[in-house]
């Protein structure tokens, strides 16, 4: 299996409910940020994908919530591709606080034509980058610190 990309993220008040616990849908945003940064680190930039006539969309998300994250926690979000097909890729993602697993997800990202939203092949540069990542077991962990948005 390939080396995961790591994104560190702080929990801010706008990520939580009134009790200071991260709202369940916010984990999907954290996972999106980590996937976007992982692709960026590979050189797969969203504007270039769009310029090729494609859009990457979430086709399915299977998320398991194990323990809560809370206000001001520092989270580590790992991302790694586990399947690459002609028109989609599947990512395994996990959210940790320290060594404690809080959430895990399997997210399928499909490629669609930006005008018709019909399934189309992933752009070749994106496929090549993902394919290379999947075969590299000694690839260094990326560490990008997320900013509050």
The angle that helices 26-42 and 124-135 make with each other, rounded to 10 degrees, is 90
14, 17, 72, 128: the catalytic one is 17
Beta carbons of 34 and 77 less than 8 angstroms apart = yes
Beta carbons of 10 and 147 less than 8 angstroms apart = no
List the structure tokens of 64.
């398991």
Active site residue 17: yes
CA 76 to CA 99: how far, in whole Å? 9
SS3 percent helix, strand, coil of the chain, rounded to 5, is 25, 40, 35
Residues known to be catalytic: 17
């Amino acid at each position: 299996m390939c080396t995961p990309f790591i994104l560190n993220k702080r929990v801010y008040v706008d990520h939580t409910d009134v009790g200071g616990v991260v709202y369940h849908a916010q984990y999907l945003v954290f996972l999106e940020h980590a996937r976007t940064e992982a692709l960026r680190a590979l050189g797969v930039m969203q504007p270039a994908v769009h310029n090729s006539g494609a859009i990457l969309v979430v086709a399915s998300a299977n998320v398991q919530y194990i323990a809560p994250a809370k206000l001001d926690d520092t989270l580590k979000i790992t991302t790694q591709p586990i399947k690459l097909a002609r028109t989609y890729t599947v990512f395994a993602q996990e959210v940790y606080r320290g060594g404690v697993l809080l959430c895990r997800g399997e997210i399928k990202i499909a490629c669609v034509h930006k005008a018709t939203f019909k399934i189309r092949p992933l752009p070749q540069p994106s496929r090549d980058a993902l394919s290379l990542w999947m075969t590299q077991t000694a690839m260094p962990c990326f560490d990008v610190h997320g900013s509050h948005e």
